[in-house]
Amino acid sequence: MTIDMSQFYQVFFDEADELLAEKERLLLVLDVSAPDPEELNAIFRTAHSIKGGAATFGFTDITDVTHILETLLDRIRKGEMALTGEHVDAFLAAKDVLDMLMAGHRHGSTVDRDAAVAVCQRLQALADGSSGTSPEAVVAPVAPTSAPAADAGPVADADGNFRFRVELPQVPERDVEALATELALLGSVSRETLADQRTAFTLVTSEGRDNIVAICAFVLDPDALKITAANPASAPAEAVGSAAPVEPVPVVAVPAPVASDPAADAAPASGENRNWGRRATDREPFNAESSSIRVGVEKVDQLINLVGELVITQAMIDQRIGALDPIAHERLLNSASQLARNTRDLQEAVMSIRMMPMDYVFSRFPRMVRDLAGKLGKKVEFVTRGAATELDKGLIERIVDPLNHLVRNSVDHGIEMPEKRRAAGKNEAGTLTLSAAHQGGNIVIEVSDDGGGLNREKILAKARQQDIPVSDTMSDAEVWQLVMAPGFSTAEVVTDVSGRGVGMDVVKRNIGAMGGNVEIRSVPGSGTTISISLPLTLAILDGMSVKVGDEVYILPLGYVVESLQPAPVDVKEIAGQGKLVKVREEYLPLIPLYQIFDIEPAFADPSQGILVILESEGKKAALLVDSLVGQQQVVVKNLESNFRKVAGISGATILGDGGVSLILDVSALLRSSRQLSNDPVFF
């Protein structure tokens, strides 16, 4: 029976991904001057495990890299070689190469073989260079006369087979026969009797030497065996080239590994206690694995969708029984309210399946900050807070790019060079904090640095230059918002500490598309905080339903500030430019919803209808509707998946009575309000 190994690939890839991430995390916290032996062990183990899996499943390129990596790490953890920053850099580079190789196998993406070779050479150079003892020299003292490891490797013949000569010690004939049978399992065996009555086999096999030793170990002590590589002419092969690897797997030619060193004995022996101590940190991922299952996202989404339908159905029932006589139908009503509670609990539980800890995103930043700070010659201490805060998986994947941008900006432009910081009386190393926390129905993610802060004057000057309308009396908050104006950033401010607008418009747009907001707080000389506020999930939304004519629309509750009926005197008309309404001494643009969707309203006069004050991205506007219907949780149905994107609409939902209602895209409405004109606002 032959087993199809490819069925295990996915598990291997997932596992290797986890191991690589773990390896990177450990490398980043490693104190180079005084490395914790437990951490070194754990790092070694990641390379070791990946190598084992890669070799088993036949990913030789991954085996090649991990083999050198493992060898080098092994020497370091045994104290044969001192750890340097150079090592850490090379290990991190190797991690990247492994990621790339893995992606190549997994997704068929392009693989840069040169990079793999380069990283192997870099690691090899480190392995050769530092200790002064060549690996061969380390091996030599352990190689007993009969030890298999001391021999040169065999060369494969045209069929990929190796030829070995196995000389047995004096053993009973019964054992010789048993061995011959065993060895025959590996390949073809020929037997000869030596002058001293001992037996020698010549074995042609595709297996490695270790398997031969393993087989013989069932019958006799392998140390008593003499296995040599035989050349194709079947003579004992002292002359065979030593560059070939011992294993048939084409491992990059590395001198015999250091594991044979006597010092190796010390590691496992004393390793027992130390390993037990490792539990707390090291075992966790494995425990997590055994108490969780992997499920495809589409299954979860289907579940969420079904629960969404259930919520709608439940709302329908609620509406129907509302019309019943509460006394005559008391028991039915009780059961219905029980059902409502259960539905809500079920919904929450199902939604939580999609929730992932922010750590999923945060964990990729320590490395990036380290690399970036190193490149720029800055010192940056990276702190994360609230990594356990959970966010919907869909959002978490989309938050990566914007956060990437913000963190980069902070290191690049926020945190000053060490000299400058010292001159300003600050700690040489800047602090960059990434935090996440729940605030009401939102999650707030903040990137903050203790750098130079934004420069108000420069931003204003830049804005003027780009014809963005500004005034000197603008509040700081408004000035900071300017850096997120489309096209604000240009390359020339990139190098300037004050210029932070690098791609900020993109960040803002991306966050906006996720239903979130970006806010900037900055104090000159002491730093900048960029705060992103996101809804916890995209699938369910707290909405306010409003009515215009016969249509009911949903406004996401997060944008609603208040609603009011204005006095006629507070509504001002600007000729040809639409209307303004004065609310608490503030003039807000008035957006008549009936005009936008071209429907017949019950009231065209603002003083008869209701104004809903909306706020997004620091801008406010008043939306004119006929009446408020109520507040409710709605299940968001995407229009784009079955129809197309509609300007001004972010989605649809099914109401309790079975009717369909559109969810308004408040950010787009507010953007359009800035044009303050009677022209159609959407195209």
Partner 1 sequence: MSKTILAVDDSGSLRQMLTFSLKAAGYGVIEAVDGRDGLAKAKQQTVDLVLTDQNMPGMDGLSLIRALRGMKKYQKVPILMLTTESDDAIKAEGRAAGATGWLVKPFDPDRLTEVVQQLIG
Q: Which residues of the chain form contacts with partner 1 (CB under 8 A)?
A: 1-3, 5, 7-8, 11-12, 14-15, 42, 45, 48-49, 51-53, 55-58, 70-71, 74, 142, 147-149, 182, 185, 208, 210-211, 213-214, 217-218, 221-223, 246-247, 249, 257-262, 264-265, 268, 271-272, 275-276, 278-279, 282-283, 286-287, 289-290
| CB closer to partner 1 out of 186 and 459 | 186
Q: In angstroms, rounded to a whole number, what is the distance separating the alpha carbons of residues 83 and 309?
A: 58
Least Å from the CB of residue 14 to partner 1: 8
Tokens of 639: 């229009």
Query: Do the bridges between strand 527-535 and strand 442-449 make them parallel or antiparallel, or are there none, so unpaired?
Result: antiparallel
Distance of CA 367 to the CA centre of its chain: 12
Q: Which residues pair with 442 in a beta bridge?
A: 439, 535
Tokens of 478: 């408004």
CB 485 within 8 A of CB 468: yes
- Which class for 572: exposed (0-12), middle (13-18), buried (19 or more C-beta within 10 A)? exposed
Least Å from the CB of residue 171 to partner 1: 17
Q: Which residue is associated with the tokens 């979130």?
A: 516
- Rg value, the chain, Cα: 35
Amino acid found at 447: V
| CB closer to partner 1 out of 189 and 666 | 189
CB 171 within 8 A of CB 220: yes
Phi, psi of 196 (to 5 degrees): -90, 25
| CB closer to partner 1 out of 62 and 415 | 62
Least Å from the CB of residue 77 to partner 1: 12
CB 29 within 8 A of CB 382: no
| CB closer to partner 1 out of 56 and 675 | 56
Q: Which residues pair with 189 in a beta bridge?
A: 203
| CB closer to partner 1 out of 60 and 313 | 60
Q: What is the DSSP letter of 637?
A: B
| CB closer to partner 1 out of 38 and 615 | 38
Where are the strands (E) in 77-186, listed by range?
162-167
Least Å from the CB of residue 53 to partner 1: 5
Distance of CA 251 to the CA centre of its chain: 31
Least Å from the CB of residue 546 to partner 1: 52
| CB closer to partner 1 out of 54 and 540 | 54
Q: Which residue is associated with the tokens 């990276």?
A: 382
Least Å from the CB of residue 65 to partner 1: 15
Tokens of 248: 């048939």
| CB closer to partner 1 out of 89 and 247 | 247
| CB closer to partner 1 out of 49 and 435 | 49
Least Å from the CB of residue 12 to partner 1: 4
Least Å from the CB of residue 25 to partner 1: 15
Least Å from the CB of residue 103 to partner 1: 17
CB 366 within 8 A of CB 382: yes
Q: What is the DSSP letter of 141?
A: G
Angstrom CA distances, 210 to 160, 213, 238, stand at 17, 5, 19
| CB closer to partner 1 out of 208 and 414 | 208
Least Å from the CB of residue 203 to partner 1: 15
Angstrom CA distances, 364 to 27, 407, 443, stand at 13, 11, 19
